[in-house]
Structure 1
Amino acid sequence: MSTFPDYYAYLNVPPTATVEEIRQAYKKESLRTHPDRLAKASEEEKKKATERFQAVADAYYVLSDSTRRKEYDLLYAARKDRANEPGASGNFFSAFSGMFSGGARNAGATPAADRPDADNVFADVFEEVWSIQIMLRPEVQRVAPWWTWTGSLCGAGLGFIVANIPGLMVGAYAGNRLGAIRDAKGRSVASVFSELAANQKAEVLRALAAKVLGTAASAI
């Protein structure tokens, strides 16, 4: 019998972690393991990083959803052969394909094995914090700022709900910058990132890592 993946260990969180704690843990772990950060790594190193990146995405996919997490926890409590190894996650999805309610209909799942697409999971979580300056290079044509202003209004509203006036200001700025990318490029931030060169992706990921890990350190 194959070992059972300890998704809590993959994300370095306890079984009592909240959804927000799991989300923040995923941000840190996915940035550490994202293969595009390893521009000068060997093929073997990139392969290992890709496997770990996928396993971390698996962990977030399972633990961020209350239904999937509940079903996983039933198995977690019964299994003592837990492992913090990427291969264990692949075996898990092969052995328990379709166990989660909704199966491949869940967002990010692949039809073949009900396993999430790691790149899609990453894009969904980081959509709101991509490095704007890097992603807008080279200079682009000026266009009507419809999405810029729409992003400002939406971000301000969401920010106010979360943190009143300070949240309104931060949300408005974030929405404004994200809208500016869509105005300039005509498509979503995640799709723009997917078309960047490898060195540009690495630069964006380093900027994200500094932002996310720096925020986490200041909160401790």
Structure 2
Amino acid sequence: MASTFPDYYALLDIPKTATVEEIRQAYKRESLRTHPDRLAKATSEEKKAATERFQAVADAYYVLSDPLRRAEYDNLYSSRSQRDRTNEPKASANFFSTFSNMFGAGGGTGETNGPTDGDRPDADNVFADVFEELLRPEVQRHAPWWSWTGAVCGGGLGFILANVPGLMVGAYAGNRLGAIRDAKGKSVAAVFSELGGNQKAEILRALAAKVLGTAASAMG
């Protein structure tokens, strides 16, 4: 058994009595602060440390946002002394490794693409799910690849068939097909992961401005 126990309440900077909504808001705050893609000029070591903490914050949200998982975690939490608890990210990795089947029968809130049989949650999917409402329009604004591809392809076909009038109709139809592909073909997490570093950083700044306030959005 691991010598240290992850203090998920400390990781999210919330009291043990926090409500589900307070946990959700705390996750939003801490995930934006720890997201590795905001560190555009970070060294590999800094990026690794940020990634580990971002994952631990996702672990904390996954466990505490679900009543059944939280109850099981709290039982273990209460059995550990204060000196055994830590907010160091590595303790979270050890926790999921040690208690690999602890959450296999958990209920789930439906808010995260959580793991099964106790595997650690995918931090990117947790982030995308929680920020779905805010992240999707930002991602689509930065990555309308299929819309533009559809417009070009449709326009080319229209031009072949009916010159300029066909070009306009074909481009419109192709663009709409592309938009459907954007919206339904890939998850927000998948599209976000394919963006360039500067695009990701810009999106994260926009999210921070909405969630943390303009002053807190100057991340770099």
TM-score (normalizing by structure 2): 0.72
Residues 65-114 of structure 1, C-alpha deviations (whole Å, 9 max, x = no match):
000000000011110110010011011111111112426x9963446851
1:96–1:142 Cα change, 3 Å: closer
CA contact (8 A) 1:2 1:91 kept: no
Letter in 2 for 1:89: S
Letter in 2 for 1:200: Q
- Match for residue 94 of structure 2? 91
Q: Distance in 2 between matches of 1:138 and 1:5?
A: 37
CA contact (8 A) 1:23 1:60 kept: yes
Structure 1 stretch 86-95 or stretch 206-215: which is displaced more? 206-215
Residues 8-38 of structure 1, C-alpha deviations (whole Å, 9 max, x = no match):
0000000000000000000010011111111
- Match for residue 210 of structure 1? 209
Q: Distance in 2 between matches of 1:111 and 1:19?
A: 21
Q: Which runs of 5+ in 1 are unaligned?
A: 144-180
CA contact (8 A) 1:182 1:189 kept: no
Aligned-pair CA distance for 1:2: 1.6
CA contact (8 A) 1:110 1:116 kept: yes
- Match for residue 191 of structure 1? 190
1:39–1:56 Cα change, 3 Å: same
1:22–1:133 Cα change, 3 Å: closer
Q: Distance in 2 between matches of 1:20 and 1:182?
A: 33
Q: Distance in 1 between matches of 2:143 and 2:47?
A: 28
Give yes or no for the alignment of 1:77 onto 2:81.
Answer: no
For the aligned residues, what is the CA RMSD? 2.9
CA contact (8 A) 1:27 1:212 kept: yes
Matches within 5 A, 1:1-220: 1-80=2-81, 81-102=84-105, 108-110=113-115, 114-130=119-135, 132=137, 135-137=140-142, 140-141=147-148, 183=180, 185-187=182-184, 188-214=187-213
Tell which structure's C-alpha radius of gyration is larger.
2
Structure 1 stretch 68-77 or stretch 128-137: which is displaced more? 128-137
CA contact (8 A) 1:62 1:68 kept: yes
CA contact (8 A) 1:6 1:84 kept: yes
1:137–1:30 Cα change, 3 Å: closer
Aligned-pair CA distance for 1:198: 1.4
Identity of aligned residues (%): 67
**Local SS of the residue matching 1:130:** helix
The number of aligned residues is 179
Letter in 1 for 2:182: K
Letter in 2 for 1:54: Q
TM-score (normalizing by structure 1): 0.72
**Local SS of the residue matching 1:73:** helix
